[in-house]
Structure 1
Amino acid sequence: MSNLKVTQNIADMCLECGLCMDACAFLPKVCDNPKVLAEEMLAGRYVAKTEVPYLCNMCSKCATVCPESLDIGNMIQEIRIQFFAEDLPLPGNIKYVKNQQKFVSSEQFFLAKPAPSGNTKRMFFPGCHLAGYSAELVDAAWRWLNQHDQDCGLLLTCCGAPSYDTGDKETYEKIVAQVKDAMASFRAEKLITACSNCTVHFRDFTDVSTVSIYEVMDENWDNPARDAGNWVMHDPCKSRTFPEMQQAVRSLLAKAGCQVQEPADSGADAKCCGMGGLVAYTDADWACKLAKERADELGGDLVTYCASCRQAMRPYDRYGLHVLDLLFTADLDDAKKAEAHGAADAKKSQLKTRELLSN
């Protein structure tokens, strides 16, 4: 099919070397090699195998080992967009993503505030997942920024990544337009992001400039260190191409008094927690299996800078915290044992976030 250019390129360029098959959980589950998968997609067999494109975490791990730098996730994204173009029935519970996107891009959640100085050069963009994890952490980060960056305003909404990952380009583009309009209304030039998924979407698919809050904090952190214990680092897979973000997180944690261990598959080799690419909406058991495998590999109390990663691995007796917990939470022992939120609790936290930030 002429509009599946990435898929055609993989069919043409794949060397069938097997390196990606060893590095990826998804590919061995669905095909003999990416070339075969691409040829099946080009032949339109996704119509009969609607779940296949929605089982990929789209974490780009494959591209890090491929001699041709082929990213199977890009092919999967192209197929998902084709799903929408053909108005095919979505597998599993993917359809519910649209309902969630409707809320986090609505006026009920949306909030924009100017910088304390009145000259808004940047805007703090916490994202909907961190807001769903802890309203108090978002509020604490916002207050810290108020003290250390008088030209930083606030923009609370969604980056549109779930719509993009679904293949719903129309909704995604509307959400991005809303973000850009809000920035333009305050004449802001940059977003300070807390989520690596938001960051990669803005960098790769828009002209929105970003810097992570961890880089901003690392440059300006002046809180006294405390004995924050030992933690195993889990880099979100979307941070793989942001070494400056990864380094800032480690530097910041050291300043805060944390001892951090490096597991396998970290840094440039970061591994998905299993929840990337909306896989849990298609096959929750498969996503949970991947999350448990990653939790077992970490082997200790984890620290990460992705709220979704922390939540994904908590059910498998893997205590853990978000980086912002280690910076702003008083009782770390209780916080690390907190159960993962369900969808209803996440929405309550998102509404509470808006309420706190409105004050």
Structure 2
Amino acid sequence: AHYGSYPKRYVREIYNNLSIVMGMRHANKMINSCSLCGLCKEVCPNGLNMGEICQAARKLMVETGKMPPSAHEFALRDFRFSTGEQFALNRHQPGFTTSSVLFFPGCQLSAAKPHYVRKIYDLLCAKIPGGVGLSLGCCGAPAQWAGREELFQETLEKLAAEWQGLGSPQIITGCPTCYSIFKVEIPEASIETIWTVLDQLGVPGTIGETLSPRVFAVHDACTARNEPELQDSVRRIVQKLGHQVVELERSRETTDCCGYGGLMSFANKEVTQKVRQRRVAENEADYLAYCAMCRDNYAKEGKRVFHLLDLLFGDEELTGADKGPGFSKRQENRARVKKSFLQELWGEAVAEEKGINLVIPEEVQELLEERMILEEDLQAVITYAESTGSKFKNTEKNTYIAYFRPVTVTYWVEYSPEGDGFLVHNAYCHRLKIDG
């Protein structure tokens, strides 16, 4: 284990950390590094679930004002985008006033594989009578993982109200985490995953023909570790498409987390990378995931990983090897999913919001990902600098340096004019407030 200790000592450290009135709380990072995935409970002879302890600690830290804002602020900012006007949408299928089912693709599938969301929706419409409603949004998992119980409950109440407003149809999720959240938090609803539904309905014979038969090592999402029906459906679909399945050393109820669970990747990048690298080294075969975050996170470690939707709709030459979109692109993809549905299905005009043009080299893009800086942050800094003249000039490099603090984080950007936009040379951020 990264922290080199054992459960009894961890529990004591967490208790002591929560009991401190003044002084350093050294266990904060350890508490926030837990993926909350439940694996410890599965392998512990006594069934101890450290995730439950860490989750309870996070909630108490938030309630008492002891949670460091840096731990989850960026993740919660992304969460608010997914629950806001730029992505959220709830509609009956065009031409219907009721829905027999409601498709909830989830914020991460829409961010990572936006072109597949419409294809799955169209497939469901063709297969299921009575109207297929659409619900775009986030299930609330990031808020729950961050210990923001009030925000989590507000999100669920809003989702439940929207669901009831559509007639309380059966919910079909495109994400195993959404499924696990709704199953527990909205027990009165009938919940299925897209995979159990497609397994029952059958996959049209022409789908999946572009990918030649191969061997896949199936990675089970940690939020699906206790869902054998879902796990079996995934494997049956893979085999029906003509591929062979091999099992990883840790699969099904003992599967690993990809590093996104519990917002681990935002709180402790070192542990996250270790977790991912250990997992991708388990098997030389191509991996197959049915969670968008699992697919992208393992692909970031250089592993060839397919999403199950790639097997249905992907192009042989384009899938598996890509590392997935960055933070800014993920938000842009969600907004485009909503826009395309409104324009193409409901015939509604959507206003195009356009900021300043940015040219961002690949090496700078990697820095932005590492430092969790969005393109909209860069645009805010440059727009402020250009409109106010508040900027420094580096005469040696012929670049400008400027900063701007929109809320709680100060962003710095080094840039230069290029064509009708700006070339970004560097960017970083901190929480210090600059007076004067």
Aligning the two structures, in what range does the TM-score lie when normalised by the shorter sequence? 0.7 to 0.9
Q: Out of 176, 182, 188, which is 2:156 matched to?
A: 176
How many Å apart are 1:45 and its aligned residue? 5.8
Identity %: 26
In the alignment, residue 118 of structure 1 is paired with which amino acid?
T
| Residues in 1 aligned to 2:55 and 2:143: alpha-carbon distance in whole angstroms | 11
Aligned residues: 331
Maintained 8 Å contact 1:223/1:256: no
Tell me the equivalent position of 2:168.
188
1:209 is displaced (CA, Å) by 3.2
| Deviation for aligned residue 1:268 | 2.0
- Scaled by the length of structure 1, what TM-score is found? 0.87
* Equivalence for 1:206: 186
1:131 is the counterpart of 2:110: yes
Q: Secondary structure at the match of 1:199?
A: helix
**Which residue pairs with 1:278 in the alignment?**
263
Task: Call closer, same or farther: CA 1:357–1:258 in 2, change over 3 Å.
Answer: farther
2:57 maps to a residue whose letter is I
- Superposition misfits of 4+ residues, deviation over 4 angstroms: none
Partners of 2:281 and 2:254 lie apart in 1 by 17
Is 1:216 equivalent to 2:200 in the alignment?
no
Give the match for residue 328 of structure 2: 344
TM-aligned CA deviation for residue 273 of structure 1: 1.7
Select 2:58's aligned residue among 75, 80, 83.
80
Query: Post-superposition shift, 1:40?
Result: 2.4
| Residues 263 and 122 of structure 1, relative CA distance in 2, 3 Å threshold | same
Structure 1 letter corresponding to 2:324: A
Cα distance between partner residues in 1 of 2:44 and 2:323: 38
2:90 aligned with 1:109, yes or no? no
Task: Say whether residues 1:165 and 2:145 are aligned partners.
Answer: yes
Q: Which runs of 5+ in 1 are unaligned?
A: 1-27
- Counterpart of 1:37 in structure 2 is 10
Quote the Cα distance in structure 1 between the aligned partners of 2:302 and 2:11: 38
> Residues 31 and 37 of structure 1 are in contact (CA less than 8 Å); yes or no, is this contact kept in structure 2?
no
Shift of 1:93: 4.2
Following superposition, the deviation at residue 30 of structure 1 comes to 3.1
Asked whether 1:254 is paired with 2:239, we answer yes
**Which has a greater percent of helix?**
1
Q: Assess if the C-alpha contact under 8 Å between 1:193 and 1:213 holds in 2.
A: yes
Distance 2:246 2:276 in 1: 19
Q: After TM superposition, give the deviation of residue 91 of structure 1 in Å.
A: 6.2
String of CA shifts for 1:192-213, please: whole Å, max 9, x gaps: 0111111111122332431111
Offset at residue 101 of structure 1 (A): 1.4
Indicate the residue corresponding to 2:214 in structure 1.
229
Deviation string, structure 1 residues 206-242 (Cα, Å, up to 9, x no partner): 3243111101101112422633422211111111111
**1:293 and 2:278 are equivalent in the alignment:** yes
- For structure 2, the 5+ residue unaligned runs are 345-436
Q: Secondary structure at the match of 2:37?
A: coil
Specify the SS of the correspondent of 1:112: strand
Which amino acid counterpart does residue 107 of structure 1 have in structure 2?
Answer: E
Out of 123, 130, 134, the position equivalent to 1:144 is: 123
Please give the per-residue CA displacement for 1:80-135, whole angstroms capped at 9, x wherever unaligned.
10111011242644111221111100122111121465331320011000001011
| Separation (CA, whole Å) in 2 of partners of 1:173 and 1:230 | 42
Name the counterpart of 1:334.
Answer: 318
Greater relative contact order structure (CA < 8 Å, 6+ sep): 1
CA distance in 2, matches of 1:335, 1:234: 17
CA contact (8 A) 2:14 2:31 kept: no
Is the 1:300–1:318 contact (alpha carbons within 8 Å) kept by the matching residues of 2? no
3-state SS, counterpart of residue 334 of structure 1: coil
The 3-state SS of whatever aligns with 1:178 is helix
Superposition RMSD on alpha carbons, in Å?
1.8
- String of CA shifts for 1:223-273, please: whole Å, max 9, x gaps: 226334222111111111111111111111111222222111112221112
Q: Which amino acid aligns with 2:186?
A: T
The DSSP-based 3-state class of the residue aligned with 1:335 is coil
- Paired with 1:274 and 1:137, the residues of 2 have a C-alpha distance of 24
- Which deviates more from structure 2 when the two are superposed, residues 297-306 or residues 127-136? 297-306
- For normalisation by structure 2, the TM-score amounts to 0.72
Tell me how far apart the structure 2 counterparts of residues 203 and 88 of structure 1 sit (CA, whole Å): 31
Question: Which structure has the larger Rg?
Answer: 2
Give how far 1:286 is off: 1.8
Q: Which amino acid aligns with 1:180?
A: A
